[in-house]
Structure 1
Amino acid sequence: MQYIRKTARYNGRKYEATGKTEREAMMKLAEKLAAAKRGEEVIGGSMSVDAWYHQWKATYKDPAGLTPKSLGMYDEKYSGYIKPMIGHMKLRDVKDIHLQRLMNGQAGKSQSHVEKLRRVLREMFSRARKSRLIPYDPSEDLQLPATVKGSHRSLTDLERTVLLNVAETHPAGLYILALLYTGMRPGEAAALNWADVDFARNEIHIHAALESGTGRIKGPKTQAGVRDIPIHAALLPRLLAARGEPFAPVFTGREGRRLNSNSQYRQWATFKRAMDIAMGAKVYRNKITRSVISDDLTPYCLRHTFATDCARAGVPLETVRWLLGHEDISTTANIYQHRDSTTLHSGMALLDGSGGKGGGNAKQA
């Protein structure tokens, strides 16, 4: 016999019911919607992974006092990676092989991303097991695939070209360019007022930062964080065009308010989405169905790119240390001495006297 399936949405969630007749399916669906409106939910192994995630997060994570940034991590890993793979499955039907395949699909991505994804899976399914919703925990022995240590890298040439083009029209363009051309941390950029942009001296004065996961402005972690950054020639006209009142924030969200952790995340997410589409992502009904942009492209890649650009230009390591606000020069060296092909070839050209061309004029030993 062919069953009839009916679906409906309530508060952003999808509910479905099946029946032998259309009337039976509609009655079952109406009961589910009525229970949802009363704040009830059928808890059991037959519920979907998606339904369990929302119940689990609302019960065990939302009241736990986590920062918005930490809570956002759970939503980002679930919505981006877990839901597309197993969100539709019944909780009791999920086996360890399903979760291991999900993990294996992250091979080659950053170690931080993969470890966080495994953490979300472990917390979700271990709680389901403790609550007697499933007979065993399919996440307890998940293996990590091969990963890349460190998630921060420089932009590729293609990424830089697309970023600069998107920044011309995107509302977050000035914010993104400021990160690229100054090496500021995102939190430092969010704390800037126009009084900190010294057009007379052509400098940006850094003396505060947005506390991660909050909307609070605080002093830098170390004294090295207090510094002056000369304004890049490509950034100067954009800043002049946007210039505001001295104590108004330089960078704002959609409501015109100072950026906080949530609005920073939204600005980067929409900007990265625009880059993705510009690079050829497939879009259906305003949703990206096939992304082409790298998962490991983060705002900190712009800071890393600034350091790499300094190396290519021959800026001394100590100077870059002060521009980046590092207390320990070894931290700068880890970025500055990144094995960039252009920098390596320029260095060899200096050594052999070739000026970057074949032959060389170095004296023979």
Structure 2
Amino acid sequence: MAKADKTIKEPKKPEDYKYVKRSFVVGKKEDGSQERIIVRGKTAKEAEAKLAEAKRLHARGLQAGELTVREWSERWQRSYKTTVSDAQKNHYDAKLKLDILPFIGDKRIKDITKADLQALLNGYAGGKKGTVEKIKHTLCLLFGDAVYEGIIERDPSARLDLPLVEVDARRPLTPIERDTLIKVAKGHKHGLYALLILYTGLRRGECLALTVGDIDLDRKRISVTKAIKMKGNTPTLAGTKTAEMKKAKTQRITRGEEVGHRIVPIPDLVMDRLKAKLTDKAPQELVFSKGNGTYVTQIVVQNWWRSIKRNCHIAAGAKLYRNAVQVDTSPIGDEISAHYLRHTYATDLLAAGVDDFIRSAFMGHSSVNVTGGYTKLSEEAIDRALELMNNYYSKMDGTGPENTDKVSTENTTENTEG
């Protein structure tokens, strides 16, 4: 007796094992079979939400591919960027509104080609490398997630090329830049702001958020637990950069304390100036503030740095024309920002012989937390590192007490509170 032929079932596609699938009927095909719109989600809840969104679009006479880039970007931010830090949300929002949507926002997403996106990037040729890379990264996420959603079949952002751009050249200060800054800062009203970043490696926002209670002068320690974030000209108190990154990735707190907190030692070179600054101040008072004791705004801190840098140019011998510094006559790089001081601090730690792990901890790099949970440094480890740093600074030319008059500090006390 002949055996009946067995029906061979078509194997399931790999994605059917990974995702929950939902669909609804929208009509009939020419052959009479049902035409469906299919969505997938990693969970049943996600699949149901996507199904509801697909039905909403269908009711408006739109299919997913009919979405404009602007419409998809709004949905993308709501769906995919809910767990990132506020700083990251602002970053994506800025790149979309300023750099992407003005060029392709009103086009249907299914009509966007690689040539469109490459032309968009090429429009930033000659710009800052970091800026162009961020635009490319946003494009890749935006269109990559559209492929995952099934809105488009192919990713036009794949294999985009960066145009010729200006390399962001943040670097340590040169010896003359460093020497001049130190001498100018010693006579400048806001010089302690620059010196503290140079000798402790704090980020600008961390420095501006410091209160008197964060500083232990007896133990020569700074407790870094918070930072000022600027939105336009408005300062807002937030967690440190490391803490924000960790929260966005893990959504948890380890060992009973906030991730991203760290202890930074204070070298002897800045102790006297710091003690004078904190005299007769209450623990809750800000170390750096406006005249009324409130947080420094973006414009005010920019004026501080602009004044310090101008006086560095003058002290180093730059020529003036109608009271404007001729920067091409100065040995001081006009591109220098406060963040260059942090790079200098990192270089100093390396030169002083501080080991990699402790350097990362002092800098507040998130890499020290890769094993899960921020590892506290022992008091002995901090003291050993501080001793190495003090020894290193005492041997450097131009930083000891015997060299304080090597560079002129004339006109370095401008009042630029803003």
TM-score by length of 1: 0.50
**Greater relative contact order (Cα 8 A, min sep 6): structure 1 or 2?**
2
TM-score by length of 2: 0.44
Mark the structure with the bigger radius of gyration: 2
